[in-house]
Amino acid sequence: MTSWRDRLNRMGGRTRFVVCRLFVHLSGQEVAPLLGVLNQAGRQAIEADGDLSVLGEGLVQIAQSLLQYDAYWRSASNEGDVFWDEGEASDSVTELFTDSASRYLSEPDLTEPEPDPDEPLSLPVTQNLVVMLTVAYEGEVPALETDLADAKALETGLKAMINLHYQGTLRAIQVHFSPARLGDELTSDQLLLNFPELVPL
């Protein structure tokens, strides 16, 4: 059914836009260094004022780090849509940003007391980390447009995402992650509550 419509639109010379979101849940204390990679990519994105090529490089870094931590993947999920209208794809990207952001508390916690300099430093290390990657691209990438709740498929999908940056077909990039920084925790209850779509790998 889809292929029929795809064929029709392709004959009309229309551009195919794909918007897809990928959830990767990692578990284990060893994944904490990923938070550094994620925050660094975020700061670079802000410094570059949202330049897509800078965000693309950040995405490559993140995807490569995720691939290195494949032993800690616990569950994953993905979803996506094909659009033939750029405006609709753009609306979908905006909607996904809001949806991803609603799964964590993004407001700085102002009630947090200033740390006492004499207090010994102790850091709880999060057991869980969820990374949400959303991309919009032109064209067709079968490796991403399938069910990715499988370690092998996820690996192929992340590699395909890296390639998209170098092919220059990316039109939008979003990265969300929870918890935000070292010392914050994402508990298993919070995970179940806010990421119900995750499928164990």
Partner 1 sequence: MVLTLSWTTFACGRPPAPEAQNPTRNVSPSVQAQLPDGQYPVQQVTYNDAGGEYSLFLLDTPPNIPSNFRTTDLRMARLTEAEVSASQPNYLKVEAGQASLHVAQDFQIQYVHNVTETQTNPQTGQPETVVVRQESNFWTPFAGALAGQAIGSLLFRPQYYVPPVYQPGGVLTGYGGYGSTYGQAVNRYQDRYQAPPAAVRNQQTLRTTGRLNAPSANRPATRPNSGTARDRSSGSGFGSNTLRQSDPSRPSRVNRGSGSFGTARRTRSRRR
Within positions 56 to 75, which residues make up the interface with partner 1, using CB under 8 A? none
43 binds partner 1 per the rule CB under 8 A: yes
| Complex with partner 1: residue 64 or 181, whichever CB lies closer | 181
Instruction: Using DSSP, state whether 29 is helix, strand or coil.
Output: helix
Within positions 123 to 142, which residues make up the interface with partner 1, using CB under 8 A? 123-124, 132, 134, 136, 138
Helical (H) or strand (E) element with 136: strand 128-138
Question: In the set 61, 90, 127, 163, which binds partner 1 (CB under 8 A)?
Answer: 90
Nearest to 195 by CA among 75, 110, 84: 75
Structure tokens at 121: 């430093």
Residue with tokens 């010392």: 183
Helices 151-167 & 52-68 angle (0-180, nearest 10): 150
Q: Which stretch binds partner 1 (CB under 8 A): 62-70, 122-130, 158-166?
A: 122-130
Question: In the set 13, 118, 152, 200, which binds partner 1 (CB under 8 A)?
Answer: 13
Within positions 159 to 198, which residues make up the interface with partner 1, using CB under 8 A? 168-169, 171-187, 190, 193-194, 196-197
To the nearest 10°, the Cα dihedral for 63, 133, 105, 151? -70
Phi, psi of 13, rounded to the nearest 5 degrees: 75, 25
Question: In the set 29, 30, 33, 91, which binds partner 1 (CB under 8 A)?
Answer: 91
Question: In the set 67, 97, 156, 163, which binds partner 1 (CB under 8 A)?
Answer: 97
84 binds partner 1 per the rule CB under 8 A: yes
